[in-house]
Amino acid sequence: MKCIILSRKKIQEDSLLLHCFSENGALLFLKIPGVLKSKKRSALFLSPATIWDFIITGNFNAISIPKEMDLLHAPYDASPSYQELSAIQELLQLARYFKSGNDNKNLYLKLEQLIRQWDFKNNLLTEYILNHFYLSFLQLAGFFHYSLVCNECNENLDEWADYLLNMGALCPRCQKITNTPDFLKIPLQWIKDFLFDNTKSKFSNKESSLLREKILYYLKKEI
């Protein structure tokens, strides 16, 4: 079973507890006993955002110990930089909002696709991956549906209209009526730029970072 490691924790001095997201959409915990002191196995790439093939038997609702394991992909080398680790941490912040189940298969596929294409030397690609996954998560989890028509009056929206995380796409007139706070507003053009595989955008990295913070704040309040 293919799994992406979301986080890891040291337990019992020499072992690791891995929180994983599997290809069937399940969230599970795997224990890797003795790996931190093993001379035959390395814990180097048993780290967040790496993709593994685990052979697991038994009850997935409990902590399982893989019978076999094989590293399929690591998005960084043996000595990841601070920039790489920070980007991975931001990407996987969304993991706390993942739900376990078959409905998450597409979310797994999206996350694996982005991890496999990640090139940390390309800052533009890194920003795209972060923005694209945040928006893909909102869409796949049912938090928003992309639209170029106002939800209230059906007026066609221009590229600089806002999408309101709690109400959908609204024209400026309907926004004034609803009096929605700014922390719920996401520019429709930003969504368009990064949801549809466009790595070029007028938004700066700083602006995109602030918009991702808005999304996290919204999810924290909603879930």
Is the pLDDT assigned to residue 180 strictly greater than 80? no
Lowest-pLDDT choice from 7-16, 34-43, 67-76, 125-134: 34-43
Distance between CA 146 and CA 55 in Å, rounded? 38
Distance between CA 47 and CA 20 in Å, rounded? 10
pTM of the model: 0.89
CB burial of 69-97 (b: ≥16 within 10 Å; e: otherwise) equals beeeebbbeeebeeebeebbebbbebbee
What pLDDT score was predicted for residue 17? 96
At residue 2 the predicted structure's pLDDT band, cuts being 50, 70 and 90, is very high
Burial class of residue 61 (count of CB atoms within 10 Å of its CB; 0-12, 13-18, 19+) = exposed
What pLDDT score was predicted for residue 131? 93
Domain-wise residue ranges, the chain: 2-121, 135-222
Q: Which of 206, 196, 210, 209 is nearest to 159 (CA)?
A: 196
Overall fold of domain 2-121: OB fold (Dihydrolipoamide Acetyltransferase, E2P) (2.40.50)
